[in-house]
Amino acid sequence: MIANRFKIAPFAIAVTALNACAAPEASKSGTRVMPAEQCRQQPGQAFVGQTASAETGQKMLAATHARQLRWVPPRSAVTMDFRYDRLTVGYDDSMIITSVNCN
């Protein structure tokens, strides 16, 4: 009985991982359906040029409806995975926000 669980576990993990990477479903019209909690990039552009801080981050989350905030320090690499609910904010050595993107 235990041996069967170990055979199924890798399959279940693989299926779960593939579902997490799945693209948004297409509607009947063929357009992509985005999750309701999708980040809205345009309101975040108002923060470019402001000082990066925890308080600014909270305001940006509220303005963009993002659920997750990712700060990107100068000269840093970031993963290229795409998340509809994440706001990625880049800043320079002076802690000035240089970019605001939903991804």
DSSP assignment of 48-92 equals TTSBP-HHHHHHHHHHHT-SEEEEE-TT--------TTEEEEEE-
Per-residue pLDDT of the chain (103 residues), as tens digits, is: 555 555 544 544 444 444 444 445 444 555 454 555 699 999 999 999 999 999 999 999 999 999 999 999 999 998 888 889 999 999 999 999 999 999 8
pTM of the model: 0.64
Structural domains in the chain, sorted by start: 2-102 (3.30.10.10)
Query: Which residue type is seen at 55?
Result: E
